[in-house]
């Protein structure tokens, strides 16, 4: 899609003011995003327009119904339990002229629009300790708000999204098919994945046998999905609600541990940079546990220290599968990018495995801090 297509698509939304300019906006790997300037009498107002990727999310109507339910739940939680002053806790959709929350243009492309959250910024790696603390709090708070929402209220926008054993099965099939002749060149990564294959059922078997409860969680709790206040050392809110659906809080904690405990990005080619920084680990778990101790069960708490390794492993498996399938899912700037990404996630898996005991100590400390504060789940 071009910027001109986006500008034309913006006309269909009830933006404040008339759209005058659209610029491509970086970020996620799935949708195409644009910032649209709209002229009003009082100056320019901006919105975030997205072309929804309906190859990844084929049922856009159900996807958007989920997003509406989640935003309503966040609004209700905000009323019951007001956040610290001056923080934004949720995104706001802009309605279409027909009164819906999304629409298809005449070429059949699906579009939606959010109000632009001004005075915030996205970071692609954690640089400072407070960022890990605030991101942990933001996702913990999000999960706490969702703990009042029955999982049946949401549909699965992507089936088996965090079903790690099925992700591993898909990798093995892609390896057997080897459609692009890349398996030999990826042998090191494939071997290392197989060495850690025991991680695949750790969360899923708990969900299957009922030992771990199914809850509404974010499912893509990575650092780039947190908006930080542009001026204050605070997180404003979490973004990317497309995969908010039934799952386990462990999926989110896993994504946080894999993306917020080291000072590198998912695309950094230098795997020697992968590490778990003690200050980030401590801050992240402190921020998260402070919110989540209100609703986590003993079985969930016990599984927290392994969740990072499980989800880093799963992400390695997904990148590697896509590499073997010739990069059909994750966009790449050059062939081999998904293999590099997979190697980084494998290194991250190993670094997180080495920190299990330390994590348990930090989690126990976070739980003890909250004893007697009487916090309970947010019900709405």
Residues that bind ligand GN1 (CB under 6 A): 28-30, 56, 220, 240, 243, 266, 315
CA dihedral 165, 166, 172, 178 (to 10 degrees): -150
> Considering the complex, what minimum distance in angstroms separates the CB of residue 83 from ligand GN1?
23
> Considering the complex, what minimum distance in angstroms separates the CB of residue 305 from Mg ion?
25
Q: What angle do CA 168, 169, 175 make, to 5 degrees?
A: 90
> Considering the complex, what minimum distance in angstroms separates the CB of residue 224 from ligand GN1?
7
Residue pointed to by tokens 């002053």: 85
Neighbours of 116 (CB within 10 A): 19
The three-state secondary structure class of 337 is: helix
Identify which of residues 30 and 296 has a Cβ nearer to ligand GN1 in the complex.
Answer: 30
223's contact among ligand GN1, Mg ion, none, with CB below 5 to 8 A by partner kind, is none
Nearest-angstrom CA–CA distance, 44 and 33: 19
Handedness of CA 6, 7, 8, 9 (dihedral sign): positive
190's contact among ligand GN1, Mg ion, none, with CB below 5 to 8 A by partner kind, is none
Of 32, 37, 134, 220, which one interacts with Mg ion (CB under 5 A)? 220
> Considering the complex, what minimum distance in angstroms separates the CB of residue 357 from ligand GN1?
26
56's contact among ligand GN1, Mg ion, none, with CB below 5 to 8 A by partner kind, is ligand GN1
3-state SS of 26-73? CCCCCCEEEEEEEEECCEEEEEEEEECCCCCCCCHHHHHHHHHHHHHH
282's contact among ligand GN1, Mg ion, none, with CB below 5 to 8 A by partner kind, is none
Identify which of residues 7 and 71 has a Cβ nearer to ligand GN1 in the complex.
Answer: 71
Residues in the chain: 380
Nearest-angstrom CA–CA distance, 124 and 127: 9
> Considering the complex, what minimum distance in angstroms separates the CB of residue 306 from Mg ion?
23
> Considering the complex, what minimum distance in angstroms separates the CB of residue 251 from Mg ion?
12
> Considering the complex, what minimum distance in angstroms separates the CB of residue 239 from ligand GN1?
9
> Considering the complex, what minimum distance in angstroms separates the CB of residue 61 from Mg ion?
19
Going from the C-alpha of 155 to that of each of 9, 168, 245, 368, the distances in angstroms are 27, 24, 7, 36
The three-state secondary structure class of 82 is: coil
Identify which of residues 15 and 224 has a Cβ nearer to Mg ion in the complex.
Answer: 224
Task: For helices 278-292 and 129-146, give the axis angle rounded to 10 degrees.
Answer: 20
29's contact among Mg ion, ligand GN1, none, with CB below 5 to 8 A by partner kind, is ligand GN1
75's contact among Mg ion, ligand GN1, none, with CB below 5 to 8 A by partner kind, is none
Nearest-angstrom CA–CA distance, 312 and 60: 28
- For Mg ion, the nearest residue by Cβ is 220
The interface mask with Mg ion, positions 221-260, x = CB under 5 A, is: -------------------x--------------------
Sequence-separated (6 or more) residues with CB below 8 Å from residue 134: 226, 228, 233, 234, 235, 287
195's contact among Mg ion, ligand GN1, none, with CB below 5 to 8 A by partner kind, is none
Neighbours of 375 (CB within 10 A): 14
32 interacts with Mg ion by CB under 5 A:
no
Identify which of residues 240 and 322 has a Cβ nearer to Mg ion in the complex.
Answer: 240
Identify which of residues 10 and 244 has a Cβ nearer to Mg ion in the complex.
Answer: 244
Nearest-angstrom CA–CA distance, 49 and 36: 7
266's contact among Mg ion, ligand GN1, none, with CB below 5 to 8 A by partner kind, is ligand GN1
Number of residues counted as binding Mg ion (CB under 5 A) = 2
Q: Which residues bind Mg ion (CB under 5 A)?
A: 220, 240
């Amino acid at each position: 899609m071009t910027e001109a297509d986006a500008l034309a698509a913006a006309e269909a939304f009830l933006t404040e003011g008339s759209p005058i300019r659209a610029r491509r906006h970086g970020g996620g790997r799935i949708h195409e995003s644009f910032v649209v300037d709209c002229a009003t009498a009082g100056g320019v107002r901006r919105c975030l327009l997205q072309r929804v990727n309906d190859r990844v999310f084929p049922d856009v109507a159900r996807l958007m119904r989920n997003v509406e339910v989640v935003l309503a739940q966040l609004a209700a939680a905000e009323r019951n339990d007001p956040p610290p002053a001056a923080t934004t806790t949720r995104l706001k959709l802009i309605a279409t002229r027909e009164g819906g929350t999304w629409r298809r243009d005449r070429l059949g492309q699906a579009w939606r629009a959010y109000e632009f959250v001004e005075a915030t910024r996205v970071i692609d790696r954690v640089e400072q300790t407070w960022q890990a603390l605030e991101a942990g709090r933001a996702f913990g708070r999000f999960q706490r708000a969702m703990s009042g929402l029955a999982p049946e209220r949401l549909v699965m926008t992507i089936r088996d999204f965090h079903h790690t054993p099925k992700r591993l099965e898909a990798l093995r099939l892609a390896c057997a098919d080897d459609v692009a002749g890349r398996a030999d060149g990826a042998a090191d990564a494939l071997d290392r994945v197989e060495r850690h294959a025991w991680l695949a059922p750790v969360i899923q078997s708990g969900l299957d046998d009922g030992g771990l409860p199914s809850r509404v969680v974010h499912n893509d709790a990575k650092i780039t999905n947190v908006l930080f206040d542009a001026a204050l050392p605070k997180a404003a809110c979490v973004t990317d609600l497309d995969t908010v659906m039934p799952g386990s809080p462990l999926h989110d904690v896993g994504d946080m541990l894999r993306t917020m405990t080291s000072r590198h990005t998912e695309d950094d080619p230098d795997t020697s940079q992968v590490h778990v920084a003690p200050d980030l680990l401590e801050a992240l778990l402190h921020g998260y546990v402070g919110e989540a101790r209100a609703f986590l069960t003993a079985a969930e708490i016990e599984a927290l220290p392994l969740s990072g390794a499980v989800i880093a492993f799963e992400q390695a498996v997904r990148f590697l599968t896509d590499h073997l399938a010739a990069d059909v899912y994750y966009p790449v700037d050059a062939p081999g990018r998904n293999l590099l990404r997979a190697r980084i996630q494998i290194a991250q898996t190993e670094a997180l495995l080495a920190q299990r005991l330390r994590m348990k100590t930090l989690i126990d400390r976070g739980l003890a801090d909250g004893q007697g504060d009487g916090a309970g789940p947010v019900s709405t």
